[in-house]
Homo-oligomer: A and B are copies of this chain.
């Protein structure tokens, strides 16, 4: 191909994206960003380009990120020991301090920096800013996990201001209670709650797996009762459990669709949104399984 032919082929590609662009324009997408996609240097830049492109074609993008392994690394370097309670990490005051430093300081700044290199107008913030995430001490089955928090209220005014004025909020999931105590918040849950508060059309989890897998095969879509079955049978386990449950809470509270996709695949975010071929698992509002199977039989639409 001559350079002109090559460029013309690109131009054709661009115009082929038009139907998906039209469908997404003006919609709000909340993207949980974590795992591998946040570790690999090349994937980070690819992610920055993808979200910037979404913003440029009219999507209102808000990002919630996790902290991953860096928190543990930095804690270790600073000589903070890790204690476990019933197999769950106990978050002491020093750890929250490290969480702030790594999440709100380093990780957040790095994501913002990369997006802004693409001209994405990102703005970093945490749940402490403008009282975004109001929290309280997490309690479940009497386990005391220290400064781990439950979200009790989301105040999205500040993020909405940013979205309406062409900025892209990048949110570190810290919460704060009425006494000013700062808590570490599960990023998957924070993303779901923020999607709810923003009445988002889409909530996308970029994770380290291809979606939900059963017997080695990707489940293309799933309802709440079926998900609970898979939790009972251990197919869905560990960190996937709060992710899936808070995602269904968000769906039930009005979020349009939830997707679990593989962040290790370059551009998987655009593929999920701009093509008919989904690349992960779509969570479907909780109709009884029977009704759903019938529906999927007819022609499961992706977006």
Contact = CB atoms under 8 A, between A and B. Distances in A.
A136 interface: no
Most buried by B among A10, A13, A50, A266: A10
Q: Which applies to chain A's interface (DSSP): helix, strand, loop or mixed? A: helix
A105 B142 CA distance: 31
A34 B25 CA distance: 30
A21 B46 CA distance: 17
Interface string A68-95: 0000001001110000000000000000
B122 A130 contact: yes
A7 interface: yes
Nearest to A170: B129
A119 interface: yes
Contact of A56 (B21, B79, B101): B21
A182 B109 CA distance: 9
A16 B7 contact: no
A7 B269 CA distance: 11
Contact of A4 (B12, B109, B112, B271): B271
Nearest to A80: B77
Nearest to A267: B11
A102 interface: yes
Contact of A129 (B52, B112, B267): B112
A199 B145 CA distance: 46
A228 interface: no
Contact of A270 (B14, B25, B165, B271): B14
A116 interface: yes
A279 B12 CA distance: 16
A260 B271 CA distance: 36
A147 to B, nearest CB: 13
Interface in A12-62: 12-19, 21-22, 25, 46, 49-50, 52-53, 56-58
A8 B266 contact: yes
Interface of A: 3-4, 7-8, 10-19, 21-22, 25, 46, 49-50, 52-53, 56-58, 74, 77-79, 97, 100-106, 108-109, 112-114, 116-119, 121-126, 128-131, 158, 161-162, 165, 167, 174, 176, 179-180, 182, 265-267, 270-271, 274-275, 277, 279
8 contacts: A7-B275, A11-B50, A11-B270, A15-B53, A18-B52, A104-B105, A124-B128, A161-B162
Given A14-B17, A57-B57, A101-B106, 6 more contacts: A7-B275, A10-B275, A11-B267, A18-B119, A101-B102, A123-B129
